[in-house]
Structure 1
Amino acid sequence: MELTENKRNYLKQITNEKGIIGALAIDQRGALKKMINKYQETEATAEQIEQFKEIVSTELTPFASAILLDPEYGLPAAAARDKSAGLLLAYEKTGYDASTPGRLPDLLSIWSVKRLKEAGADACKFLLYYDVDESAEINLQKQAFIERIGSECQAEDLPFFLELVSYDANDADNSTAAYAKEKPHKVNDMMKEFSNKRYGVDVLKVEVPVNMKFVEGFSEDEVVYTKAEAAKFFKEQSESTDLPFIFLSAGVSAEMFQTTLHFAKEAGSTFNGVLCGRATWANGVEPFITKGENSAAEWLKTEGRKNIQELNQVLNETATSIKL
């Protein structure tokens, strides 16, 4: 990884004293609205979304190396974060247009990397849905799109975190055993593609290469991978890139995410940390809506803090330091 002095300094703000990224992700917008809507009859308001993000930031950033937020609802939370925590800001619009093929990405129209930097970002994060087996007509558009963002980040001398989420263009359900069989190839080949220097990516944020629900010893249903096979895919993932890479939690429970990180380490993965979202704070939404702000803050002070401190301990045992 070739870094300018400015990018190196920004990354130091995002990593902990051991050079590991133990960051908190709450850039969810559409997903957070749905979580709030489960506990009330009316639609989630912008004020509720901003307020919940701010409470999470206030209570949990003292224990995180950084926080990932969106500039649409997250700027009050960015201002409320602990001074020790770095800031990543998301550049993508939430979700994707399901009415057109390809899950094509889009940018927040009134933002640029320059503006994210002016808002205090230590890095720009962009989420890309990508199927390595989709048509060249679709994937060439996505590749050019990422090249543009990489060039923007290089111009502003700001680190570029690319979040890659795999899918199957022919089957929207990624929870099945059939998709689990395809996932290692889709995740690892996608990482290999976007590790190319032409994209200007500094850190990859990625899924683990298997669905742990289908791993021998972790599965209550069908076994898709033996432990040895799953371990091989984790090892291959590390070998598919020369960039630092961190894992996303993909909405699994805190316990399952921690178990997965131990498995990854034992398999020889050299991942450099996590950007962990719902596994840390998701269960704070219910008290926030049903009992109010103070109840949510109390949950985050206790259970949320426990989740993030346990995760930090696991990271200290499993993650590899980024050489800065």
Structure 2
Amino acid sequence: MGPLKPARRWTVEKVKISPGKLRGLRRLADEEGRFRMMAIDQRGSLKRMIKKATGREATYEDLAQVKKLIVKVLSPYSSATLIDPTYGFPNAAKYIPPEVGLLLAAEETGYLPAGTGEKERKSRLLEGWGVEKIKRAGADGVKLLLYYRDDASPEVVEHQRRIARQVGEECRAYDLPYVLELVSYPFKEDEAKAEDYEKNPEAAKNFARRKPEIVFSYVKEFAKPEYHVDILKVEFPADLKFCKEYADGTFDGIKRDPVYDLSEVEDFVREVTRLAKVPWVILSAGVGIEEFLEEVEIASRGGASGFLCGRALWKYCVDFYPDVEAVEEWLMTSGVENFQRLYAASAQAKPFFETEAFGSFSNLELTDKGPDWYKLYPGFGSA
């Protein structure tokens, strides 16, 4: 028997990352590398909520006040807070704790109707605002909301992709993490939202049935390196109201014909993880807290890195406005409880540095690491 050969040493190729992206991602995550983020960048939807609560049109001061109250109470529980630059940040910036990350939105609220019958949607960047100002304002990352259907008109699809690329290039130049939020919508004659089930059940089932493939298609597209996306903020890849285990009206009291079961839904989530490669988080899309908790738990088991939650977390506080004390009371009780439950639901979320894009924390290494790193690191405008 010959001499034993030395064991083979496997070398793992380091993943190169810029310092701004790395620091930003760590600022947006908690100590475990999971994203437990709160969104309070809503504008149009919040106006409608305030109008419903007060019976009058919402003013600038109304939106500023509500956002300030929510940030003061709930931001300390978040790993990062997403806020808008119009009503939110100017009025609530000082209430975001220094240990909490800051995300600023880049888009104009709403969308431009487009395509055949003007049922398709074009996103817009907020005029007079952009990545350079977001960097200068001290943010840890940039968020862009993009409405997307890859079966929309070619001109609409290209418009949306162009905006996504533009923001991605600017985030790369200013070395800021890029969070791309992707939201689908029904626009075909045979599609409808889940809440329209009683009026048009077949159309609502059609959209629910197509939802997984819609999500897969946009995740696959925007995970491409050309967009420079660091975190994908995506919809749950199914509608649990049409899932066999919940279709009896679990969340809203409306019984629906199921179009998939929980085992299939779990497969959908794993497929999102496979396609995304980069870290992804789940958005709440205005659903109730009970439904979102289920989505977060399923998504976390399937490879998501956490959540970026808006209305599901805090929306019922607006019902008490303009009674500021009542709003604060709801936030300090029900709002805090919602956050605590979301933490528990996301306990199995995958730390961002363990996703396929990175492999492990020890695998990360600064680009151009070495004695001349400071010379090679590009300044603004030269990246």
TM-score of the superposed pair, with normalisation by structure 2: 0.80
Percent of matched pairs sharing the same residue: 38
Which residue does the alignment assign to 1:278?
Answer: 311
1:308 aligns with 2:305: no
Which residue does the alignment assign to 2:103?
Answer: 88
1:4 aligns with 2:18: yes
Query: How big is the shift at 1:126?
Result: 0.3
Secondary structure of the corresponding residue to residue 303 of structure 1: helix
Which residue does the alignment assign to 2:36?
Answer: 22
| Distance across 2 between alignment mates of 1:263 and 1:271 | 9
Q: In 1, are the aligned partners of 2:29 and 2:35 still within 8 Å (CA)?
A: yes
Q: In 2, are the aligned partners of 1:131 and 1:169 still within 8 Å (CA)?
A: no
Query: How big is the shift at 1:311?
Result: 0.6
Q: In 2, are the aligned partners of 1:189 and 1:240 still within 8 Å (CA)?
A: no
| Distance across 1 between alignment mates of 2:193 and 2:227 | 27
| Distance across 1 between alignment mates of 2:181 and 2:300 | 21
What do the CA deviations read for 1:50-83 (whole angstroms, capped 9, x no partner)? 1111111110111110110000111122221122
Query: How big is the shift at 1:36?
Result: 0.4
Query: How big is the shift at 1:315?
Result: 1.4
1:214 aligns with 2:236: no
| Distance across 2 between alignment mates of 1:85 and 1:30 | 25
Which residue does the alignment assign to 1:193?
Answer: 221
What do the CA deviations read for 1:185-242 (whole angstroms, capped 9, x no partner)? 0001110000000011111000010000000111122110022222221111111111
Query: How big is the shift at 1:127?
Result: 0.4
User: Following superposition of structure 1 onto structure 2, how do residues 93-172 of structure 1 map, counting pairs within 5 Å?
Assistant: 93-98=108-113, 101=118, 102-171=120-189
In 2 relative to 1, CA 223–87 (structure 1 residues): closer, same or farther, beyond 3 Å? Answer: same
What do the CA deviations read for 1:19-75 (whole angstroms, capped 9, x no partner)? 000000010000000000002222101111011111111101111101100001111
| Distance across 2 between alignment mates of 1:275 and 1:174 | 22
Segments of 5+ residues of structure 1 without an aligned counterpart are none
Which stretch of the first structure deviates more once superposed, 8-17 or 75-84? 75-84
1:184 aligns with 2:184: no
| Distance across 1 between alignment mates of 2:122 and 2:130 | 18
Q: In 1, are the aligned partners of 2:313 and 2:338 still within 8 Å (CA)?
A: yes
1:322 aligns with 2:352: yes
| Distance across 2 between alignment mates of 1:241 and 1:128 | 16
Q: In 1, are the aligned partners of 2:132 and 2:174 still within 8 Å (CA)?
A: yes
In 2 relative to 1, CA 49–2 (structure 1 residues): closer, same or farther, beyond 3 Å? Answer: farther
Query: How big is the shift at 1:265?
Result: 4.1
1:64 aligns with 2:78: yes
CA RMSD of aligned residues (A): 1.5
TM-score of the superposed pair, with normalisation by structure 1: 0.95
Q: In 1, are the aligned partners of 2:300 and 2:306 still within 8 Å (CA)?
A: no
Count of residue correspondences: 319
Secondary structure of the corresponding residue to residue 54 of structure 2: coil
What do the CA deviations read for 1:140-168 (whole angstroms, capped 9, x no partner)? 22212211111111111111100000124
Segments of 5+ residues of structure 2 without an aligned counterpart are 1-14, 195-203, 249-255, 354-360, 362-383
1:54 aligns with 2:68: yes
1:202 aligns with 2:216: no
Secondary structure of the corresponding residue to residue 89 of structure 1: strand
Query: How big is the shift at 1:2?
Result: 4.9
Counterpart amino acid of 1:174? Answer: K
